[in-house]
Amino acid sequence: MFLTILTAWISKDLPDPDKLTDRQVAQSTKIYDRTGDHLLYEIFGDEKRTLIELDQVPKNLINGLIATEDTSFYQHNGIRPLSILRSIVVGIFTKQKIGSGAS
């Protein structure tokens, strides 16, 4: 019962999952030649961003990220409930931030 109430309370401020792909992200402006094949200039502010699809991310980058962040990712698919609970309990009693148990 307590976990249900806690989960509902924490979840109230989370964004709608259906809207996560609709977010607006600042990207750099690209100026191509008249054929559209050759990039002439790229104008960007503080961050240089170009959105790509997940299948365009190099497999070695994905593997490297998972290897450094969460080596057991494929066994739990990104969520470890016991680790999340441990993090909450330790955070409440010690005021320390530890790993959350999610990727």
Terminal Cα distance for the chain, rounded: 26
pTM assigned to the model: 0.48
pLDDT value of residue 28: 84
DSSP calls for the chain: -HHHHHHHHHHTTSPPGGGGGG------EEEE-TTSSSEEEEE-SSS------GGGS-HHHHHHHHHHH-TTHHHHTTB-HHHHHHHHHHHHHH------SB-
pLDDT in tens, 15-72: 787 777 777 777 888 899 999 999 898 888 777 788 888 999 999 999 999 889 888 8
Q: Is the predicted pLDDT of residue 101 greater than 60, yes or no?
A: no
Query: What's CA 56's distance to the chain center, in Å?
Result: 16
